[in-house]
Amino acid sequence: MGEPLTPHADQVEMHPLGAMSRITPAVTLAALSLPKTGTVLDLGSVLSRDMPKGRGQDDAFAPFQVLRHRTSVDMARDGGKAGTTFSTELIQGTPHTGTHFDAFAHVQLDGRVFGGGTSAEHERDFGWTHAGIETVAPVLTRGILLDIAADEGVDQLPGDMTISVAQVQASLGRSGLSVRSGDAVLIRTGKMRDYGDPTVWAGAIPGLGVDAAIWLYEQGMAVVGADNPSVEPNPTADWTRHLHVELLYRRGVHLLEWIDLEPLHASGATEFLFCALPLKIRGATGSWIRPIAVI
């Protein structure tokens, strides 16, 4: 949207697409050869008005609702065609609940966003004019699962546990994998097992630590996702150095949150073709997605 901007001096990644630039045609072609059975695993959550919100920030998350707009009765009253009627609805809510994809505009540091520009320049009443989700390409790449909960011998990591570099490296070692340039790295904490209980979901959240996230980026990671509301632990221990700023703002790494990784866990697969398609919603700071893994 408009001319390319000049990245801010404290940003590590210089490519305007951020780390997604690592998903080259060659990377995608290689990923297409990974499936062995053709089994498609659905990693998306169900969106509903009774689904959980984010932790401790109810006023930041507009409730998700499906509202009747025109009903079959309306259509019949207005002249149905030989018994044929239609129904339509209005959908409202923030794209930061349910399985979703964060755009660069989602996080700012001192009003600045990834790739240059500021909220004062680009944030408008009806969306952003820079770094919105419509600028994000589809993701089709190699995915790897770091099943940290299983590695720790538990169904779910405790409380606000911070996943370390050593835990990430040990998980890779156990699966015999390494991070390649262009990979989507998915982190399983087991938190998604709480999705059906909004009260428990709003409790403390285990997640990926900053040092571990930076290490993964330095190995070649293109995007990162987790089965929790924030990828990182919550509550945030240190607002001067946290994952959203270090990845989204400084390194241009998109975050995929609330991914249901239980199907992957049950399958035992740790390497797969991964696909996530953000909707092209002009000016939005995120998008609902229905990601899949093909094994």
Domain containing 203 — which CATH number? 3.50.30.50
CA distances from 173 to 103, 274, 294 (A): 31, 21, 22
Tell me, yes or no, whether 154 and 69 share the same domain.
no
Tell me, yes or no, whether 36 and 67 share the same domain.
no
What stretches of 11-148 adopt beta strand conformation (E)? Answer: 40-42, 65-70, 88-92, 100-102, 123-124, 127-128, 139-147
Q: Is residue 6 part of a domain?
A: no
Counting as low any pLDDT under 70, the low residues of the chain are: 1-4, 54-59, 78-80
CA distances from 147 to 4, 95, 185, 262, 266 (A): 38, 26, 11, 10, 11
Q: Tens digits of per-residue pLDDT, 94-137?
A: 999 999 999 999 999 999 999 999 999 999 999 999 999 999 99
pLDDT of residue 47: 93
Tell me, yes or no, whether 133 and 207 share the same domain.
yes
* CA 45 – CA 292 distance, rounded (Å): 11
Tell me, yes or no, whether 131 and 217 share the same domain.
yes
Tell me, yes or no, whether 40 and 108 share the same domain.
yes
pLDDT of residue 69: 86
- Those residues whose C-beta lies under 8 Å from the C-beta of residue 268, and which sit 6 or more positions away, are none
Nearest alpha carbon to residue 55 among 227, 208, 244, 233: 233
Q: Is residue 68 part of a domain?
A: yes
Q: Which domain holds residue 73?
A: 62-92
Beta bridge partners of 127: 124
Q: Is residue 66 part of a domain?
A: yes
Tell me, yes or no, whether 73 and 38 share the same domain.
no
Tell me, yes or no, whether 173 and 73 share the same domain.
no
pLDDT of residue 3: 54
The answer to whether 116 and 8 have CB atoms below 8 angstroms apart is yes
Q: Tens digits of per-residue pLDDT, 217-256?
A: 999 999 999 999 999 999 998 999 999 999 999 999 999 9
pTM: 0.94
